[in-house]
A and B are shown apart, each in its own frame.
Chain A
Amino acid sequence: MAQYALVIDLNTCVGCHACATNCKEWNTQAAFGPLSDYDPYGRHPSGVWYNRIMSYEIGEFPNTQVFHLPKSCLHCQDAPCVPVCPTGASYKREQDGIVLVNYDDCIGCKLCSWSCPYGCREYDEADKVMKKCTLCIDRVYDETLPPEHRKPACVLTCPARARFFGDIEDPESEVFKAIEERNGFVLFPDMGTNPGNHYLARTETKINLEEFEKHILKPDNPLFLEVMKRHHVSNKSAETTVEEVG
């Protein structure tokens, strides 16, 4: 059975929030919107977001690393939010595994959000229904769009190309290969939810600064003159300041 999902590369995600912003922009005016805002220009702005980006620091000072975790609905294969829904408004599509909410049936009891260990469902106080990531189903199946644009808004907008979309059960898909080759992992594996969205692990990147300096300060480097010029100008301005103070 097909399972559409996102694969997010934590190695390249820079935590710029572009995915969350574009998600909000697209979905607030598309088929599953709006994503209501409360007090948007006041002191305590808040609202409904399908996608939130968390930042974590790992390790102990000075050996620390920061990574960003974009978290939207994981479209679990054993979604615990679906069976608890008393009206059947929350459902998982058989053809592509996307978990959706039928706003016309939702009574706003919030029980599905209590049954999500990831906190990926948000209650819309204005519409009085539960809302969640739809994997931009209205884009994915929109035949009026060019084929390369039939992807979720967050995937298309990611400037670091950290997000991939596809069928994680299809061995030919880009996401299946990414998960296989780079040991894709899921959040909260012990909860028995079997999430669709996967993350690609962050690998430690080391830059040898000595090598870098040697290269950049070589006279045959086309940037050499520019580097020296900037260095000269900054030194000169520093001297001028000292003279003025003196």
Chain B
Amino acid sequence: MHPPISLIVFFLTAGTSIGLFIFTYFIEFLTLFGKGSGLPKEVVLVSGIISLVLIGIGAFAASFHLGHKLRAWKAIKRFRTSWLSREAVFSGAYGFTLLIYLFLMYYEINPFFEHFFGILTFIIGILSGFSTAMIYATNKFVLEWNTSLTVLYYLDMYLMLGSALFTIMSLYYGLPYTGTFVFLTFLFVALGFGFRLAFNIRQFYLKRPTLNEALNLPHNRTIRVLDTGSTTENYCTTEFYYRKGKELLSTTLPISYLLTFIVPLILILYAWITGTVNLYIFWTVYLSLLVGSAVERWTFFVEGNHVQNLFYGLYPEEGYKLRKGFMERKETRISLYN
């Protein structure tokens, strides 16, 4: 699949925004039960404004994916059936309720309404992330994405970005939550590493359809594509098969693993063990996560193979091939006589 840059920007901004708000409000929420001392008003406001600006940038960036930006409001019409419609509604509602929460927080109007909108924003934020992930996970024609791992990983990435940025805020304002959030960042990055590995390993075991299945022919017939009806590329071959991306995949996949998981994990471990938890290290962790996630999202799109590529002879045959002879699944044949 061709990676849309606008959606990658949306992922990064919405992910950081929702992740950051989840942790900010969760600390406030705990004070309702007498746990913890909450956050200074300034921290909540700064964190909330960062979240609001980021979701705004995300929505603006995502509109570049649309052909008709001014008609985007129409996306609320099919809430009942479409995950994209749900994502649009929840993302919009998240920004709106967040704004109200910040307003109530700033003017300290009524603690009930303040927490009511806080809880609402918290839930809608998670639903927004869930809906975005479900757009990919429910697409049964891209087998690589069609798994619950996509959703788990997607939500984990939100928490990963959010907790990393909250650690920076905690360090900046000297809050007593730094230790907890260093641990949480480590936990979510480690979990993300596990989910991404599982996502990649799963691709080795996918039962892929064949051209024979697409054309409803017996499985034992040899068949090959002679001609696809046009001498140049068309929408189907450019949108569903990114040739340049497939060539770069063997480079971008290790880079995404390195920047999203390996570098942050090593830095956090270093900070943990040596006790040098400072802003420099955690800014590096966050930036590494941000750049790594951008590359990872790009890789996620390129890794997806749409079944319509079968008609053009562009669908992988068996297993997962990165480069000829490298990370290639080989079929082993066992014979008694050879």
Contacts and interface: CB of A to CB of B under 8 A. Distances in A.
B222 A60 contact: yes
Contact of A108 (B67, B235, B312): B67
Interface stretch (B16-24, B71-79, B316-324): B71-79
B82 interface: yes
Interface in A114-140: 114-119, 122-123, 127-129
B232 A55 contact: no
Nearest to A82: B81
B223 A117 contact: no
A159 interface: no
A122 B84 CA distance: 19
Contact of B77 (A88, A118, A123, A129): A88
30 contacts: A44-B233, A45-B232, A47-B234, A54-B225, A54-B227, A54-B228, A55-B227, A55-B228, A56-B224, A57-B224, A58-B222, A80-B140, A84-B83, A86-B75, A88-B78, A105-B71, A106-B68, A106-B71, A107-B74, A108-B67, A109-B65, A114-B1, A114-B141, A115-B139, A119-B309, A122-B234, A122-B235, A123-B235, A188-B209, A190-B213
A222 interface: no
B93 interface: no
A113 interface: yes
A176 interface: no
A39 to B, nearest CB: 9
A185 B226 contact: no
A130 B8 CA distance: 22
B88 interface: yes
Contacts of B312: 54, 119
A114 B74 contact: no
A158 interface: no
Contacts of B215: 56, 69, 187
Task: Report the interface size class on chain B.
Answer: 35 or more
Given A57-B223, A107-B67, A117 B307 contact: yes
For chain A, which range describes its interface: under 10, 10 to 19, 20 to 34, or 35 or more residues?
35 or more
B235 A189 contact: no
B230 A119 contact: no
Interface string A37-74: 00000001111110011111111100000100101000
Given A54-B229, A86-B78, 9 more contacts: A53-B229, A58-B223, A60-B222, A85-B82, A86-B82, A89-B74, A110-B239, A117-B141, A123-B239
A191 interface: yes
Contacts of A110: 65, 239
Contact of B78 (A87, A117, A191): A87
Given A52-B230, A57-B226, A188 B306 contact: no
B85 interface: yes
A17 to B, nearest CB: 7
B221 interface: yes
A187 B214 contact: yes
A186 B215 CA distance: 8
Given A117-B141, A188-B214, A46 B230 contact: yes
A86 B153 CA distance: 24
Contact of A188 (B1, B77, B213): B213
B132 to A, nearest CB: 12
Nearest to A108: B67
B248 interface: no
B308 interface: yes
* Minimum-distance CB pairs A-B, first 4: A108-B67, A128-B67, A119-B308, A86-B85
A58 B21 CA distance: 58
A83 interface: yes
B7 to A, nearest CB: 10
Interface in B216-251: 216-217, 221-230, 232-236, 239-240
Interface in B130-147: 135, 139-142
A20 interface: yes
Contacts of B217: 58
Contact of A44 (B72, B139, B232): B232
Contacts of A20: 229
B222 A113 contact: no
B139 A188 contact: no
A118 B66 contact: no
B105 to A, nearest CB: 32
A111 interface: yes
B216 A187 contact: yes
A182 to B, nearest CB: 14
Interface in B287-338: 306-309, 311-312
Interface string B138-180: 0111100000000000000000000000000000000000000
A107 B217 CA distance: 37
A177 B200 CA distance: 48
Interface in A165-197: 185-191
B228 A52 contact: yes
